[in-house]
């Protein structure tokens, strides 16, 4: 699905990403985890086609990315909802841009609203919604476009713990039904362990390790010991200096 090779990106002479390489298979998920300012959001923007790489290449479904891709859905950190549009019109916007007929838009948007249990808010403005409800709208705005790839930039960071878990469950549920690939950028270790088939640990613009998560999608994963073990491993990866043990593990993966 995604193939990233020798990717480099600098912002005003400051190197943000350095030699990024990874692959993601179709229908799978990748969680990118790292501290603030490590370049993970930039990597997501490059995958979305919102930024252009200085060197290297990104291929999605074997096609080189040079701009915005029609079948990629993007959920930004602060939801990116337009405050002057109602929930309904926020969801309808992407379809309208793509030239869908009015009736088709109505059908698709109403279906998405129903699936995400936000039909009752369709005429409300984003400012009238709670964080969790806004997040559902943001998810709906992407899903209504039926993407084969969903990119999410710290989508649940502003939510309380319970709502965050509820939203993570929702993403899993939709993913298992629609079978799209997704990339999630987060600084939350538990979130990465819960939502990533693969988990890439990024530090100072470099991927220091990519771990496989064999427990992805397991029922009641949050209560299992393997989940805590994985988190422990991730925490260790995030705090260790680049080199030594990390490089050894990277080879293992």
| H or E segment and range at residue 19 | strand 14-24
Quick check: 102 binds other proteins (CB under 8 A)? no
Q: Which stretch binds other proteins (CB under 8 A): 83-91, 103-111, 164-172, 198-206?
A: 83-91
Quick check: 101 binds other proteins (CB under 8 A)? no
Quick check: 93 binds other proteins (CB under 8 A)? yes
- Rounded Cα–Cα distance for residues 36 and 33 (Å): 9
Residues 6 or more apart whose CB falls under 8 angstroms from that of 129 comprise: 87, 121, 137
CA angle, residues 178, 195, 216, in degrees to nearest 5: 85
Please list every residue from 196 through 225 that binds other proteins, using CB under 8 A.
none
For residue 6, the minimal CB distance to other proteins (Å) is: 25
Two tokens, residue 52 = 């252009």
Please list every residue from 48 through 67 that binds other proteins, using CB under 8 A.
48, 50
Residue 64 per-residue DSSP state: E
For residue 223, the minimal CB distance to other proteins (Å) is: 35
Please list every residue from 114 through 143 that binds other proteins, using CB under 8 A.
125, 127-128, 141
Sheet strands (E) in 76-197: 149-153, 181-186
Residues that bind other proteins (CB under 8 A): 45, 48, 50, 68, 70, 72, 74, 76-78, 80-85, 93-94, 97-98, 125, 127-128, 141
């Amino acid at each position: 699905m995604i193939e990233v090779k020798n990717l480099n990106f600098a912002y005003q002479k400051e190197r943000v990403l350095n030699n990024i390489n990874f692959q993601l298979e179709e229908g799978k998920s990748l969680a990118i985890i790292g501290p603030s300012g490590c370049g993970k959001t930039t990597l997501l923007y490059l995958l979305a086609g919102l930024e252009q790489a200085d060197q290297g290449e990104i291929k999605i479904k074997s096609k080189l990315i040079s701009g915005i891709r029609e079948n990629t859905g993007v959920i930004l950190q602060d939801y990116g909802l337009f405050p002057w549009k109602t929930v309904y019109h926020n969801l309808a916007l992407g379809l309208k841009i793509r030239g869908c007929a009015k009736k088709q838009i109505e059908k698709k948007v109403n279906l998405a609203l129903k699936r995400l249990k936000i039909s009752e808010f369709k005429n409300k403005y984003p400012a009238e919604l709670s964080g969790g409800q806004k997040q559902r709208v943001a998810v709906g705005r992407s899903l209504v476009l039926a993407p084969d790839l969903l990119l999410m930039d710290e989508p649940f960071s502003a939510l309380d713990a319970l709502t965050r878990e509820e939203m993570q469950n929702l993403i899993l549920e939709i993913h298992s039904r629609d079978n799209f690939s997704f990339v999630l950028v987060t600084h939350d270790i538990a979130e990465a362990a819960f939502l990533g088939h693969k988990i890439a640990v990024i530090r100072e613009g470099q991927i220091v390790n990519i771990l496989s998560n064999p427990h992805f999608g397991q029922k009641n994963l949050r209560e299992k010991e393997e989940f805590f073990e994985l988190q422990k491993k991730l925490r260790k990866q995030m705090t260790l200096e680049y080199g030594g043990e990390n490089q050894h593990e990277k080879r293992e993966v």
